[in-house]
Chain A
């Protein structure tokens, strides 16, 4: 019976998710996030965090190097654009494959170690990629400026099919639909839904349970005669492929691949997204990604002028005080808001935003007479 209920609730979850993604532009318009670029970023980083969660949430392995796969995905996509075709499909396929291969290599080495040693190994690999991409590998990556398209690119397949972009820089298009603006968002959104569905299946599968076993007690798993490394490696590669897809999509919606996508701060960002939303939960990472990208794009845009008009209802001296206090947290101070947000979330809601949601639901249930230990399922287990 429980199983039936679960399956049912999964269907509901899936449908709600689909509806939320597709209606994103309408839902997010009132909070000022209903414009294509930010919507695309929500979807893309949602995919990135979803994949990262398959590794962190299920196996408990904390990777500090996933940004490298994001970068590999972006570079592969731009190179496919340049050499083959502006159609996003082959580019994304190559991105996923390249990131998958790359993560197989790095995962195979890094997973020989556990705990913080694993984290440092992944960090070291990603930093090496970043440093080399920024300097020595400039012929491939175009260094600081980032890899860009140019009119003189060969685009073999496009030429073969007789497509000519004329004198302007081509934009990526899916059989004639340009991958910018809202069509770009819906393309990313549909992929996000597919990725969400795959993550859901993984979470509910025996494979997912095995990974959870790796997380709760790796030794016990080993004692039962099971080699856990292939499982962890599979999870690592899957999450690497998610990152590759996300990186590819970044380049599809905006054809430029820069090296700073691989920096350790970018790896840290996806860790923050996942934990902020709730590691080990399905929806959490997507929400975490949304919150962080929203903060980055909207909070940073406030300046003194906008604040003054926002507080214009106050009398003059109060307005000054209000502007100078809030000014610390928005505009150039938006990092402060972000830092405080992390602290508050981790201190009070260790399970991330999803734990907060669950607590509210439980409160609601309890008041209507139902008993609840619902947090037990979603609260992340300690990584040791």
Chain B
């Protein structure tokens, strides 16, 4: 039907679009919590990357707990350095047999349940203990105190888990890749994509939709949106807006944490991953427009797809190094063309 070269380019383009969507989903999810905090609380939270990292380490912790091992010493065998060899079997396998192995295999998805309460508590404690006192302080001070907090959090994680990345495999069933091309009637094995990345894309869609629905269709969400528009008036109406804002912060922490949990099979988590994503998530939020949830999502997908295309060999051969700077280049262009990002409101964070 089509000449072979056209099919090949189409495959390549289809793959890059898919990859861009997948990246975009991740970016949007990571930026979502950040822009939620901006929009509602007006706080520049540099510890957002740390929340993402803490989420990832929730998954690590759960896996460590699940794989607590029964240590039996085998005196007949010795290690290379001459101590008796320790034989280790995870308790959960010893007790639950196959069900235990299943739980161990699915530890990443199970971590979602584990991470929600933990991240909620972390978020609420952070807001009540620290952020609350910074609502009225200048942004520079908010940046500095949350940056300090981010360093402290990551150093604590480092002293517990070490600096090396810790692998978190996806469940066996989802660790391969799917032949998407065949689904669309293309020849077999031309367009394949890992299951887990598609799970992540679907997951980010669900979470983003959930957050939007929550803000749009619940009374709580309505009050929060009203508070975003005019905090004082809402307070004057006798609504305890502070308490709601605390919960919003907790929610943002949960979103960041879940983004982290689900990302662990793609990127083996280490203590520094929060800082690595910090700049990126800020760029996404600013390109989208400060405080605009829709903007953050749109910017996430835009940056994801453009980054994906900029990394193609054909593009790189015309503009060497373009893939290194594409994110920043887009940020500059968008901000110069649209002063407040894609969907930013006037007067927000422009002081």
A and B in direct contact, judged by CB atoms within 8 A: yes
A346 to B148 Cα, complex, angstroms = 9
Which residues in chain B, 21-67, are within 8 Å of chain A measured between CB atoms?
44
In the complex, per-residue mask of B150-183: 1 if CB is within 8 Å of any chain A CB, else 0: 1110111001000000000000000000000000
Q: Is the CB of B325 within 8 A of A131?
A: yes
Main secondary structure of the interface of A (DSSP, over half): helix
Q: Is the CB of A382 within 8 A of B138?
A: yes
In the complex, per-residue mask of B329-351: 1 if CB is within 8 Å of any chain A CB, else 0: 10110011001110000000111
A336 within 8 A of B: yes
Q: Is the CB of B141 within 8 A of A350?
A: yes
A279 to B133 Cα, complex, angstroms = 20
A116 within 8 A of B: yes
In the complex, per-residue mask of A343-354: 1 if CB is within 8 Å of any chain B CB, else 0: 100110010000
In the complex, per-residue mask of B294-336: 1 if CB is within 8 Å of any chain A CB, else 0: 0000000000000000000000000011001100110110011
Q: Residue A116 contacts which of B141, B149, B151, B286 (CB distance < 8 angstroms)? A: B286
Q: Is the CB of B325 within 8 A of A132?
A: yes
A120 to B325 Cα, complex, angstroms = 14
Question: Which residue of chain A lies nearest to B344 when distances are taken between CB atoms in the complex?
Answer: A117
Question: Which residue of chain A lies nearest to B163 when distances are taken between CB atoms in the complex?
Answer: A332
B225 within 8 A of A: no
Q: Is the CB of A125 within 8 A of B328?
A: yes
B145 within 8 A of A: yes
Of A34-42, A107-115, A163-171, A314-322, the stretch lying at the interface with chain B is A107-115
Distance to closest chain B CB from A49 (angstroms): 14
Q: Is the CB of B151 within 8 A of A336?
A: yes
A380 to B150 Cα, complex, angstroms = 24
B112 within 8 A of A: no
Which residues in chain B, 267-295, are within 8 Å of chain A measured between CB atoms?
275, 279, 282-283, 286, 290
B139 within 8 A of A: yes
B144 within 8 A of A: yes
A136 and B320 contact, Cβ closer than 8 Å, known pairs A128-B328, A380-B138, A383-B138 = yes
In the complex, per-residue mask of A327-362: 1 if CB is within 8 Å of any chain B CB, else 0: 010000101101111110011001000000000000
A116 and B290 contact, Cβ closer than 8 Å, known pairs A132-B321, A336-B151 = yes
Supplied contacts A338-B151, A346-B148, 18 more A-B pairs, CB within 8 Å? A62-B143, A109-B336, A116-B290, A117-B335, A120-B283, A121-B331, A124-B328, A131-B328, A328-B159, A333-B155, A336-B151, A336-B156, A339-B148, A339-B155, A343-B148, A346-B141, A347-B133, A384-B139
Question: Which residue of chain B lies nearest to A114 when distances are taken between CB atoms in the complex?
Answer: B350
Distance to closest chain A CB from B147 (angstroms): 7
Q: Residue B152 contacts which of A56, A136, A265, A336 (CB distance < 8 angstroms)? A: A336
A116 and B321 contact, Cβ closer than 8 Å, known pairs A342-B147, A346-B148, A383-B140 = no
Q: Is the CB of A346 within 8 A of B145?
A: yes
A135 to B323 Cα, complex, angstroms = 11
Q: Is the CB of B151 within 8 A of A342?
A: yes
Distance to closest chain B CB from A216 (angstroms): 11
Q: Is the CB of A135 within 8 A of B152?
A: no
Q: Is the CB of B148 within 8 A of A115?
A: no
Q: How large is the interface on B (under 10, 10 to 19, 20 to 34, 35 or more residues)?
A: 35 or more
Question: Which residue of chain A lies nearest to B329 when distances are taken between CB atoms in the complex?
Answer: A128
29 A-B pairs whose Cβ atoms sit less than 8 Å apart in the complex: A62-B139, A112-B336, A113-B339, A115-B349, A116-B139, A116-B350, A124-B331, A124-B332, A127-B328, A128-B325, A128-B329, A131-B328, A132-B321, A132-B324, A132-B325, A136-B324, A272-B144, A336-B155, A339-B149, A339-B151, A340-B152, A346-B141, A346-B145, A350-B137, A350-B141, A382-B137, A383-B140, A384-B139, A384-B351
A135 to B319 Cα, complex, angstroms = 13
Distance to closest chain A CB from B341 (angstroms): 8
Q: Which interface residue of B154, B156, B351 has the most chain A CB atoms within 10 A?
A: B351
A183 within 8 A of B: no
Which residues in chain A, 79-100, are within 8 Å of chain B measured between CB atoms?
none
A69 within 8 A of B: no
Q: Which interface residue of B133, B141, B154 has the most chain A CB atoms within 10 A?
A: B141
A123 within 8 A of B: yes
A213 within 8 A of B: no
B residues less than 8 Å from A114 (CB atoms): 350-351
Q: Is the CB of A333 within 8 A of B340?
A: no
Distance to closest chain B CB from A298 (angstroms): 18
B residues less than 8 Å from A336 (CB atoms): 151-152, 155-156, 159
Distance to closest chain B CB from A292 (angstroms): 12
Q: Residue A343 contacts which of B137, B149, B349 (CB distance < 8 angstroms)? A: B149
A residues less than 8 Å from B335 (CB atoms): 113, 117, 120-121
Question: Which residue of chain B lies nearest to A115 when distances are taken between CB atoms in the complex?
Answer: B350
Q: Is the CB of A339 within 8 A of B150?
A: yes
A residues less than 8 Å from B351 (CB atoms): 114-115, 382-384
Distance to closest chain B CB from A200 (angstroms): 23
Distance to closest chain B CB from A302 (angstroms): 15
B residues less than 8 Å from A333 (CB atoms): 155, 159
Q: Is the CB of B44 within 8 A of A116?
A: yes
A342 and B144 contact, Cβ closer than 8 Å, known pairs A109-B336, A116-B349, A124-B283 = yes
A262 within 8 A of B: no
Question: Which residue of chain A lies nearest to B331 when distances are taken between CB atoms in the complex?
Answer: A124
Closest 9 CB pairs of A and B: A384-B351, A339-B151, A342-B148, A136-B321, A124-B328, A336-B155, A343-B148, A131-B324, A339-B152
B residues less than 8 Å from A350 (CB atoms): 137, 141
A109 and B324 contact, Cβ closer than 8 Å, known pairs A123-B279, A335-B151, A342-B147 = no
A48 within 8 A of B: no
A275 and B144 contact, Cβ closer than 8 Å, known pairs A342-B151, A383-B138 = yes
